[in-house]
């Protein structure tokens, strides 16, 4: 097996290398030299062309000829190995690339500059496609980050993206760049719609089954008390805490067995109540002048009833009181699985932001938190007895041997205190479980394997090295996940060549069982039961295990495992059997449960009562958008997790300033999430990933699309946020919010306009009302909870010489200034074209959109 240290070994030469720089010189050079990236042309016939440059603004000279200095930088697109101008550019592992001088290098004098063009594997059209913290390393001296790249302001090291060949993904890209004018046209969806004050006051997000409004209002003050049944103690405490947060004083809590006079909120459970909707989690909410009554079919129903009450509260109290409409709500969820997936494996963001996510999920009645705890780039949960998983696997730095940390990735840079590092302690995780349970949210832990497992593999290799050195070879092999004699040659979508757990080693299954066991203990300590073990299973590198002697032995010894193609189902079957033995359902991403794009594994090979698949890869023109139906029809339970509508790591709009990947679709805004139709899967196929309209899906694919024969196997829907480009908690939240709210809307409520041919006019009015409530009530509440969220710039244009402005959410404040350094003002009246250019931005509270310039 090739070691990373061997891949990163310094270049050798018969000629003498230059004397190394001192540590002080290295630091001086990195602090003053300027490292930059620039997009040249994504539409070039030979492939996307990018460049890097280094301007030496320091007094330190890089010598001519071969030297031991190396520059490392991160690129999410694999770069073709390049030799040009005395510089050699090589891919190392994942997103890490290295630049070294050859004998033809002419040196870099003070004031000098070099530029190196290179080809990348796919288009790069956004500033956040480029990662921070490029660094120079001199063996034996140290590493230093180029100061201008040691920032989250990517504009500091990425050249301006303004030409069409820079922001288009290819010559076939039909998606226009977002401008003030295109935004104005998009926002005109609200033109002609008049939303009454009563409609907005009565709108609950997510929308209930029925709302029957009565004449008059109810005034909620701190004089009200909470009268609750003993089984609802947790819910009563939660309600009191939320009311205290917005009113400054907690209402009294009184058990229902004690008499109570005066205005009160009654919390009850009555599964036999005749007018309650059928099914779990249903409730009735009645708001009257002296009594607010919440009755749930179960505790969860009562909790969702109180969330509807809290949702009705205006964003701000008036002198410690709220005015509510009198009404009766009858409600039940559309789907039992209303989920949010959060990847902290790529970049870790801390416990606090996880708790804030759980709180907001509870507010909007989402009930499944899928935690992606492990990845190639990090292992994020302490496992007792396996300290290397977090001592090594939770950190990235520049350590070629990877005994102290994983090799740096995703803009972390060379030091262990770089971005994205960290993990949940066991105590942290137990606290997360309890916090989620109090909000009726089930946490689904994912340990991704056999692919996407580099952090675990390298951690267990570090453990193997430690115990071998300590003279304990048997213990060293106990949880080893890699075969040292494996010569398999593969590269994954994320450009790793060593991230597949060896499924032919018995030590692999000892490791899986150990992790399952420890997870169960954490849930038990939290007073809960682990129900589902998610084993990932996606994107295994083609060619994995083909050169493994252990697998060759397995082929001769085990019936039913005849070759490499049998290994993934063999692995999944064994993990599923281990999960069943522990009383667990097993879950995986769709491709982890399929032989190929159209053929699922045989459901009967799994003895588990439940096998759950996340259907995610639905690029329509690739012919894979029917996998959800194929899996459900084959007997798997399916969670709709589709990339075209439900991947919140994608940009909000097609603009270089927007963060995120765009492999599934060029952008996904709030309205697109709102318009997703879980019960009419193929009706969501409106455009290709290039932006071309889809008029006939079957004609596009060239075959019939299988109908859904077992709708009972569709559990619900789930939003996903992957974090390759998300390094901070604030970045994370702006990608999740406000898209989490329309996700909750579609998971909870089936709209009347949903069909194979949706009622566009009804959907337009529904979204207008939803968007207005977001701007006027829900986004201010997010801001008050210290939750960051995204706002797109307003639409703007000149009409008859006067400035016309609209926004993505009706009711947002719009501000304008008439000079680059001018003062922002909210009075837009009288601004004429003679005053152009002008700058326009949107604002909700203290949260502001980017400014857009209008000539």
Residues 622-655: pLDDT tens digits?
Answer: 999 999 999 999 999 999 999 999 999 999 999 9
Give the number of C-alpha atoms closer than 13 A to the C-alpha of residue 661, restricted to the C-beta side: 20
461 is catalytic: no
* 329-338 pLDDT per residue, tens: 999 999 999 9
471 to 135, 403, 506: CA distances (angstroms)? 38, 17, 21
pLDDT exceeds 50 at position 7: no
- Among 670, 635, 632, which Cα is nearest to 650's? 670
Report the sign of the C-alpha dihedral through residues 542, 544, 548, 554, in that order.
Answer: negative
Contact (CB, 8 A) for 322 and 220? yes
Residue 41 near residue 171 (C-beta atoms within 8 A): no
Calculate Rg over the CA atoms of the chain: 28
For 320-341, b/e burial (b = at least 16 CB within 10 A) is eebebbbbbbbbbbbbebbbbb
pTM of the model: 0.96
- pLDDT band, very low/low/confident/very high, at 3 (cuts 50, 70, 90): low
- Identify the band that residue 451 occupies on the pLDDT scale cut at 50, 70 and 90: very high
Under 8 Å between Cβ of 42 and 690: no
* pLDDT tens digits, 86-145: 999 999 999 999 999 999 999 999 999 999 999 999 999 999 999 999 999 999 999 999
Report pLDDT digits (tens) over 768-813. 999 999 999 999 999 999 999 999 999 999 998 899 999 999 989 9
E strand spans, 377-473: 378-379, 396-397, 406-407, 442-449
Token digits for 105?
Answer: 């290098």
Helix runs in 313-423, H state only: 351-363, 388-391
Burial class of 384 by CB neighbour count within 10 A (0 to 12, 13 to 18, 19+): exposed
DSSP 8-state code for residue 430: H
Instruction: Give me the mean pLDDT over the 482-493 stretch.
Output: 96
Helix axes 740-748, 351-363, angle to 10 degrees: 40
pLDDT of residue 832: 85
* Structure tokens given for 34: 């300027």
Per-residue pLDDT for 203 more than 90? Answer: yes
Exposure pattern of 68-97 as b/e (b: 16+ CB <10 Å)? bbbbbbbbbbbbeebeeebbbbbbbbbbbb
Q: Does residue 537 come out as left (phi exceeding 0), alpha (psi in the -120 to 50 range) or beta? A: left
Q: Tell me the C-alpha distance between 562 and 185, whole Å.
A: 59
pLDDT at 828: 80
Mean pLDDT of 288-307: 97
Burial-class residue 818 by CB neighbours within 10 Å (0-12, 13-18, 19+).
middle
Going by pLDDT thresholds of 50, 70 and 90, the confidence category of residue 743 is very high
State how far the Cα of 490 lies from the Cα of 304, in Å rounded to an integer.
Answer: 48
pLDDT tens readout for residues 569-586: 999 999 999 999 999 999
Confidence of residue 193 (pLDDT cuts 50, 70, 90): confident
Residues in CB range of 318: below 8 A, 6 or more apart: none
Is the pLDDT score of 342 beyond 90? yes
Taking the C-alpha atoms of residue 291 and residue 541, their distance in angstroms, rounded to an integer, is: 61
Residue 191 has what pLDDT?
87
Catalytic residue among 229, 281, 442, 539: 539
By CB neighbour count within 10 A (0-12 exposed, 13-18 middle, 19+ buried), where does 176 fall? middle
Residues 6+ apart with CB under 8 A from 625: 618, 619, 642, 681, 682, 685, 697, 701, 705
- Helices (DSSP H) in 588-696: which residue ranges? 627-633, 643-646, 670-674
């Amino acid at each position: 097996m090739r070691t990373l240290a061997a891949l990163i070994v310094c270049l050798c030469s018969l000629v003498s290398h230059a004397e190394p720089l001192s540590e002080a010189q290295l630091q001086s050079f990195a602090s003053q030299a300027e490292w930059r990236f620039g997009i040249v042309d994504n539409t070039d016939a030979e492939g996307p062309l990018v460049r890097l440059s280094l301007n030496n603004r320091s007094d330190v000279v890089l010598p001519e000829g071969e030297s031991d200095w190396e520059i490392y930088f991160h690129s999410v697109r694999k770069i073709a190995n390049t030799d040009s101008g005395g510089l050699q550019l090589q891919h190392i592992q994942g997103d890490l690339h290295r630049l070294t001088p050859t004998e033809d290098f002419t040196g870099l004098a003070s004031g000098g500059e070099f530029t190196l063009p290179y080809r990348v594997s796919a288009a790069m059209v956004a500033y956040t496609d480029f990662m921070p913290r490029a660094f120079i390393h001199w063996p034996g001296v140290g590493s230093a980050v180029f100061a201008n790249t040691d920032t989250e302001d990517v504009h500091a090291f990425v050249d301006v993206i303004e030409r069409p060949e820079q922001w288009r993904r290819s010559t076939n890209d039909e998606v226009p760049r977002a401008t003030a004018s295109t935004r104005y046209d998009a926002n005109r969806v609200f033109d002609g719609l008049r939303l009454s004050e009563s409609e907005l006051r009565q709108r609950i997000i997510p929308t209930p089954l029925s709302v029957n409004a009565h004449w008059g209002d109810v005034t909620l003050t701190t004089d009200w008390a909470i009268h609750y049944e003993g089984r609802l103690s947790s819910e009563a405490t939660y309600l009191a805490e939320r009311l205290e947060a917005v009113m400054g004083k907690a209402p009294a809590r009184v058990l229902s067995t004690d008499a109570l006079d005066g205005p009160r909120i009654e919390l009850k459970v009555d599964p036999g109540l005749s007018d309650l909707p059928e099914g779990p989690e249903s409730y009735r909410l009645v708001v009257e002048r002296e009594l607010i009554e919440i009755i749930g079919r179960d505790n969860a129903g009562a909790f969702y009833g109180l969330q509807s009450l809290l949702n009705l509260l205006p964003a701000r109290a008036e002198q410690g009181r709220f005015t509510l409409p009198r009404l009766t709500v009858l409600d039940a969820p559309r789907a039992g699985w209303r989920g949010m997936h959060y990847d902290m494996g790529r970049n870790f963001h801390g416990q606090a932001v996880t708790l804030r996510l759980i709180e907001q999920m509870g507010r909007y009645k989402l009930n499944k938190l899928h935690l992606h705890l492990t990845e190639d780039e990090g292992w994020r949960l302490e496992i007792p007895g396996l300290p290397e998983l977090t001592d090594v696997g939770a950190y990235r730095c520049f350590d070629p041997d990877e005994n102290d940390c994983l090799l740096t990735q995703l803009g972390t840079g060379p030091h262990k205190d770089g971005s994205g590092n960290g993990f949940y302690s066991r105590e942290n995780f137990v606290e997360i479980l309890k916090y989620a349970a109090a909000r009726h949210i089930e946490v689904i832990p994912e340990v991704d394997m056999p692919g996407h497992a580099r952090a675990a593999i390298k951690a267990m290799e570090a453990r193997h090295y430690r115990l071998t050195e300590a003279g304990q070879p048997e213990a060293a092999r106990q949880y080893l996940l890699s075969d040292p004699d494996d010569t398999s040659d593969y590269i994954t979508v994320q450009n790793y060549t060593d991230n597949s757990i060896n499924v032919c080693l018995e030590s692999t299954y000892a490791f899986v069982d150990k992790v399952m066991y420890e997870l169960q203990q954490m849930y038990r300590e939290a007073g809960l039961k682990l129900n589902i073990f998610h084993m990932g299973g996606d994107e295994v590198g083609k060619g994995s295990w083909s050169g493994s002697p252990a697998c060759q032995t397995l082929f001769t010894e085990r019936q039913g495992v005849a070759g490499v193609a049998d290994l993934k189902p063999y692995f999944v079957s064994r993990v599923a059997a281990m999960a069943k033995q522990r009383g667990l359902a097993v879950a995986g991403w769709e491709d982890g449960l399929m032989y190929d794009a159209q053929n699922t594994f045989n459901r009967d090979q799994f003895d588990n009562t439940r096998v759950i698949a996340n259907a995610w890869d639905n690029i329509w023109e690739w012919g894979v958008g029917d996998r959800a139906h194929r899996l459900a029809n084959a007997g798997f339970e399916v969670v709709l997790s589709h990339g075209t509508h439900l991947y919140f790591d994608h940009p909000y709009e097609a603009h270089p300033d927007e963060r995120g990947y765009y492999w599934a679709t060029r952008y996904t805004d709030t309205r697109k999430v709102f318009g997703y139709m879980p019960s009419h899967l193929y009706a969501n196929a409106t455009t290709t990933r290039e932006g071309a309209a889809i008029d006939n899906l079957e004609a596009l694919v060239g075959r019939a699309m299988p109908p859904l024969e077992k709708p009972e196997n569709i559990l619900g829907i789930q939003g996903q946020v992957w974090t390759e480009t998300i390094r901070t908690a604030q970045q994370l939240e702006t990608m999740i919010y406000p898209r989490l709210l329309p996700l909750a809307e579609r998971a909870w409520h089936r709209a009347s306009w949903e069909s194979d041919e949706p009622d566009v006019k009804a959907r337009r009015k529904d979204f207008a009302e939803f968007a207005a409530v977001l701007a006027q009530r829900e986004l201010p509440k997010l801001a008050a909870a210290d939750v960051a969220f995204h706002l797109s710039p307003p639409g703007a244009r000149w009409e008859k010489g006067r400035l016309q402005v609209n926004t993505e959410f009706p009711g947002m404040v719009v501000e304008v200034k008439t000079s680059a350094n001018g003062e922002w003002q909210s009075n837009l009246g009288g601004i004429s074209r003679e005053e152009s250019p002008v700058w326009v931005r949107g604002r909700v509270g203290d949260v502001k959109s980017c400014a857009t310039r209008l000539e």
